[in-house]
Every structure is written in C-alpha cells, then in structure tokens.
Amino acid sequence: MEALPQIRQTLSEIDRRIPDALRVAMGLRLRPTAGAALEEVTRFTASCLPRPCPEGGGDPMECDEAPPARALRMEAASCFLPDHDEDSHFVRPEAGVVALADGVGGYRAPGVDAAAFARALMYNAFEMVVATTPGGAGGICPYALLGWAYEQAVSGRTQGASTAVILSLAGTALRYAYIGDSAFAVFRDGKLFFRSEAQVHSFNHPFQLSVKNGNSVTAAARGGVEVKKGDVVVAGTDGLFDNVTNEELQRIVAMGRALGLSPKQTADVVAGFAYEASTTMGRDTPFSLESRKQQGTIFRRGKRDDITVVVAYIV
C-alpha cells in the first residue's frame, strides 16, 4: 500500500512565512531586525492576550440529520514536521473532511513499522471520502468513516496501532470521531469555544486502534459542534497538544486572524511553535505538567515527537 503524501517542510521555510510581529509576540527564537515589527505588535497584541479558556465542551458513510438552514464550508491546510515519521493525515475541504492519525511509538521494533496502522487508517478513509458523493443532508459521518477505515486495516492484518481524529463539516455542524490523544479545538471570536478531551488509560498511554490488544472502535468519542462563519478549527496529533497549551494556541489563532494569515500560514506557525516548545528546556508544557501531576516528576520541557497540524477556517 502506498502511503498518502505527507507535507514536509523545514523550519527555515516556515520561518520565512511567519510575520515578524507574530514571531516577536510569541517569543519564537528568530527575532526580527526591523523595529517596525515591534510597532505592529503594539497595535494588536493587547486584543490577543491570553484569555481564560473553558475546560475541556451501520456501514453507510452518510449521517441522517435534517438539513440546516445555511450551509458552511471550510478552507483547510496542514503542516507536518516529522520526528519518527509515524503520523499520517489528509485534508479534503471540498468534501468538508479533514483527518489525522498518530502511529503509536511503543510498537517501534526491528521488522515492525509503527506507522503502518496510522497510514492504513488515513489511506482507507481518504479513498472512501474520494469515492463518496454524500446524498444525505448530514454529509459524511466521521464515526462510520473511522469504523470502515479500521475494519479495512484489521482485515489487512496491518502492523502497529494508532490514535485518530476525523472531522466532517455538514451545514453548520462540525461532526467528529476520535480515539486517543490526537485532538481538536474550535476557536470563536479569539477565544477557545470547544476542546476535545483526550482518551487515555494512564499517563502517555492513549486509547488506540490496532489488530489486537487495542481499544474497540466503538470506544471512539463522537458528537458534533455547531459552528459559524469565522470559527477556526485546529486539529493535531499529540506532538501539538503535548507541547502547546490551550492559552498559547488561542493566542496564536487570535493573532493570526488579526494579521490576516491563511489556514496554511496559521498551520505553519502553530507547528513551528510546537516544535520549539518540544525542544526547549526549562519551560513547562502540557506534557511536563501532566507528568508532574501523574508521576511526580520534576522536569520542565516539551516532548519531541512528530507534529501534525491541520487548520480549517469556517467560511
């Protein structure tokens, strides 16, 4: 099976597309040389300062909900920064579907491809989305899509295990299905509006799908969020959410919108910030804070990992 093409970019390429003002305000390592950037920061940073975030609100591919009064669509893009190269994803905005998966590194061993299950899930789901022309008002059902992709991976006796998130926009409903600690968030008017809750057995041991010894696909969280024009959706593997807090992500999204960044530019900035957080010592991250809480550790740093970020603007 041929893996889906992955978007791979160097951090230097991403840096060239990050506006100086946002780089200064977020404390990224590469500082601008021009004083004009500092003036730009002062014009909008006050409105983008961190705000309190709410604490984490059959076979057919189509959902059966009644049609909404007004349909929305998404403009979406992604950024992938590989570490072990075990993430996989796809973006299909014309179908209103984005998805990502994270191969579980614990399966890494000689002769075992720890990325295989994640790639199989995304390949199978992508092929079904391309082949499906939704006839129902509810569009493509992410839970049914995840189940079908999982069954195909199991029937192929695919190696490894994976977490996953699938999001599908139909009308004004953003429907979701996810398993494990890959996650997504919805931002509205510069504030966090909804954040999925990670499914974990214990610290750093997420729910996961596999041929055997994994969770059932029926354990996947599923539901829907009512969205409106102007909302921003950010989905990512744990390489993002282990290294970037809700407040930091909220701030980047708000500042990106103030600067008029595209979904691609925003995805690049978020991924670049997550990478820097993952490699910086002496700085607390969600990963180090949760480790301290669950295991009594004292380190202050991020977690090196593959980083996949998908950003969708609701329009």
Tens digit of pLDDT for each residue in 70-98? 689 999 999 999 999 999 999 999 999 99
How far is it, in rounded angstroms, from Cα 48 to Cα 222? 31
Class of domain 70-314: alpha beta
Whole-number mean pLDDT of the chain?
87
Domain boundaries, the chain: 70-314
184-238: per-residue pLDDT in tens? 999 999 999 999 999 999 999 999 999 999 999 999 999 999 999 999 999 999 9
Q: How many Cβ atoms are within 10 Å of 113's Cβ, its own excluded? A: 16
CA atoms within 13 A on the CB side of 67: 7
How far is it, in rounded angstroms, from Cα 167 to Cα 149? 14
- 165 and 121 Cβ atoms separated by less than 8 Å: no
pLDDT level of residue 7 (50, 70, 90 thresholds): very low
CA atoms within 13 A on the CB side of 268: 20
